[in-house]
Amino acid sequence: MPVNPADRETIDRLVKERDAVILAHYYCLPEIQAVAHFVGDSLGLSQEAAKNPARVIVFCGVHFMAETASILCPEKTVLLANPEAGCPMADMVTPEDLVKRKAEEPGVPVLTYVNSSAQVKALSDICCTSANVATVLRSLPSTKVLMTPDRNLAQFAQTLVPEKEVLLWPGFCPTHHRLNLEEILELKRSHPQAEVIAHPECQPKILAEAHFIGSTSGLIKHCAQSDQGEFIILTESGVIYPLTKANPDKKFYQPRTPMICPNMKKNRVQDIISALTTMTPVIKVPEEIRRPALIAVERMLAIPRDQ
């Protein structure tokens, strides 16, 4: 849906008045991506928030992403465009449950996916992204590692780093987890020339059918660099917008089962206008949580990304 010119004018005015920058995740609606100053994956956006000179960050994504921005740049005002945009996978690991599990596995380091709450990050030894999970896992001296919250990403990491024993947490992304294997096989039969690319939040049986597995930004980069003209995309449908925009001559297919994150899609243009007008809702991580969470994030940032 095209952005209303009046809305764009209002946003431009408010951005200037508030000294703000708008960040949007690849999974957001096309009109959100169109008005954002930067579009990217969760960690990349938070890193942009930290280095951008703007005093106000408007995050179009889900709650944990705005929290990560607050962790990295506490001196800035971080606004979450839609406060109802949460993450079911992040909710699958609570601080209370993690404390209990850590007691059951004394001395085992906790590796936590950035798709998690600030409180869970604060209880973790180090964080990872879907791009650098293998590098981070290899960097840990322990042969046994507890990984939260995504069991699919953890199992994928285990295949890349077989010398480690990865203890799984029973969490998952509902959007990626719902993919049906028969649909994938049907797509491959219908488009035999297409390259199958998948996000590691998919189940192992789905990843087994992929030619390339990578983070959201990694998948987009791969499609741009590949000589292939057709791709079967096994991740959230929001990536189709930047893919087709950057590669107008290439074809992209997705399964019949809607690959839609309902929380990401809650972000609307009017939410951005409301946030900038009222300067709410502010996402501010308390210092007693932010400090240990920052340690886990900074340990990750010191390690180069795989892709």
- Confirm if 250 and 216 have CB atoms less than 8 A apart: no
* C-alpha span between 5 and 110 (Å, rounded): 48
pLDDT of residue 73: 94
Pair 185, 230 in one domain: yes
- Confirm if 137 and 164 have CB atoms less than 8 A apart: yes
* C-alpha span between 225 and 247 (Å, rounded): 10
Pair 183, 45 in one domain: no
* C-alpha span between 179 and 124 (Å, rounded): 30
What CATH code is carried by the domain that includes residue 227? 3.40.50.10800
Question: DSSP strand E in 240-304: where?
Answer: 251-253
Does 230 map to a domain? yes
Does 183 map to a domain? yes
Per the structure, how many domains does the chain have? 3
Question: Average pLDDT for consecutive 10-residue bins of the chain (307 residues)?
Answer: 90 98 97 97 86 96 96 96 97 98 98 97 96 95 97 98 98 96 97 98 98 96 96 97 96 95 97 98 98 96 65
Does 148 map to a domain? yes
* C-alpha span between 167 and 95 (Å, rounded): 17
Does 306 map to a domain? no
Pair 166, 119 in one domain: yes
Domain interval for residue 136: 89-172+289-301
Pair 154, 220 in one domain: no
The 10s digit of each residue's pLDDT in 188-247 is 999 999 999 999 999 999 999 999 999 999 999 999 999 999 999 999 999 999 999 999
Pair 18, 164 in one domain: no
* Closest residue by Cα to residue 152 from 220, 86, 198: 198
Pair 190, 159 in one domain: no
* C-alpha span between 34 and 88 (Å, rounded): 26
Does 14 map to a domain? yes
